[in-house]
Amino acid sequence: MSQENSAGIILSANHLVKTYTQRSGRFGFGTCQIKALDDVSVQLRTGTTLAVVGESGSGKSTLARCLLQLHPFDSGEVIFDGIELAKIDKDALRQQRKNLQMVFQDPFASLNPRMKVGEIVGEGLLIHKLGSVAEQKEKTMQMLTRVGLQASDAEKYPHQFSGGQRQRIGIARALVLQPKVVVCDEPVSALDVSVQAQILLLLKELQHEMALSYIFISHDLRVVRHIADDIVVMNKGKIVEIGKVDDVYRAPQQEYTQHLLSAIPGRKAA
Partner 1 sequence: MTEILKIANLNVTPKNDLTRFLVKNIALTLSQGKTTCIVGESGSGKSLTALTIMGLLSKQLNTNGSVVFQGQEISQLDNQAMQKIRGAKIGMIFQEPMTSLNPVLTVGYQIGEPLTAHLGLKGTTLKDKIAALLTQVGIPPERANSYPDELSGGQRQRVMIAMSIACEPALLIADEPTTALDVTVQAQVLKLLDELKTRMNMAMLFITHDFGVVADIADDVIVMFRGEIVETGTREQVLNHPQHPYTKALLACVPDAEGLKELKPIDYSWLEQVA
Q: How far is the CB of 207 from partner 1 (least distance, A)?
A: 14
Helix residue ranges per DSSP H, the chain: 60-67, 90-97, 117-127, 133-146, 163-175, 193-210, 221-227, 245-250, 255-262
Looking at the Cβ atoms of 15 and 244, the one nearer to partner 1 is 244
Select the span of 28-36, 112-120, 132-140, 256-264 touching partner 1 (CB under 8 A): 256-264
Looking at the Cβ atoms of 21 and 194, the one nearer to partner 1 is 194
Find the binder of partner 1 among 32, 92, 109, 263 (CB under 8 A): 263
Report how far Cα 146 is from the mean position of its chain's Cα atoms.
Answer: 20
Distance in angstroms (rounded) separating the CA atoms of residues 260 and 127: 42
DSSP type of residue 158: G
Looking at the Cβ atoms of 55 and 119, the one nearer to partner 1 is 55
Return the closest-CA partner of residue 165 out of 178, 177, 176, 154.
154
Over the Cα atoms of the chain, what is R_g? 19
Find the binder of partner 1 among 138, 155, 192, 205 (CB under 8 A): 192
Angle, in degrees to the nearest 10, between helices 133-146 and 117-127: 130
- The dihedral over CA atoms of 7, 73, 93, 133, expressed in degrees to the nearest 10, equals 110
Size of the site for partner 1 (CB under 8 A): 34
Kindly write out the interface string for residues 196-215 of this chain, putting x where it contacts partner 1 by CB under 8 A and - elsewhere.
xxx-xx--------------
Q: How far is the CB of 244 from partner 1 (least distance, A)?
A: 12
Kindly write out the interface string for residues 17-56 of this chain, putting x where it contacts partner 1 by CB under 8 A and - elsewhere.
--------------------------------------xx
Looking at the Cβ atoms of 80 and 256, the one nearer to partner 1 is 256
Kindly write out the interface string for residues 129-168 of this chain, putting x where it contacts partner 1 by CB under 8 A and - elsewhere.
----------------------------------x-----
- What does the H/E/C string look like for 227-252? HCCEEEEEECCEEEEEEEHHHHHHCC
Q: What are phi and psi of 172, to 5 degrees?
A: -60, -40
Q: How far is the CB of 149 from partner 1 (least distance, A)?
A: 16
Distance in angstroms (rounded) separating the CA atoms of residues 186 and 170: 12
Residue 243 as a binder of partner 1 (CB under 8 A): the answer is no
Q: Give the interface with partner 1 as residue ranges (CB under 8 A).
A: 55-56, 163, 192-198, 200-201, 219-223, 225-226, 245-246, 249, 259-270
